[in-house]
Amino acid sequence: MSYRKITVDGKEYEYTVGRTHVKVKGVGVWLKEEVGEKLARICGCGCGEPMDILYSEEKLSEHDYRYTVHPSNVAEKISKVV
């Protein structure tokens, strides 16, 4: 994993985004779902509909969603924790 640099409130941090977690050196490690934004999963049958429209929330598990983590998400998490 390669680390990226981010500056929050004048202090520089290094972070990395893995498959399931986000790690900030010296600050903490969190699940991507705790830091990032939930993306709509597209149905695999080819209809192109988002999964959350096709199925009710009860039938969807957290494994049915993907999360995206932007630098702004990481900066926000750092500022909340430090």
| Domains of the chain: total | 1
The confidence score (pLDDT) of residue 67 equals: 86
Q: Which residue has the higher pLDDT, 53 or 30?
A: 30
Which tens digit of pLDDT belongs to each residue from 34-72?
999 987 666 667 776 666 555 555 555 555 567 899 999
Amino acid at 52: D
What confidence tier does 7 reach under pLDDT thresholds 50, 70, 90?
very high
| DSSP track, 3-48 | -EEEEETTEEEEEEE-SSEEEETTTEEEEHHHHSEEEPPBPTTSS-
Q: Is the separation of the CB atoms in 78 and 13 below 8 Å?
A: yes
Q: Using CA atoms, how far apart are residues 67 and 33, in angstroms rounded to an integer?
A: 6
The confidence score (pLDDT) of residue 5 equals: 98
> Which range marks the domain in which residue 58 is found?
4-81
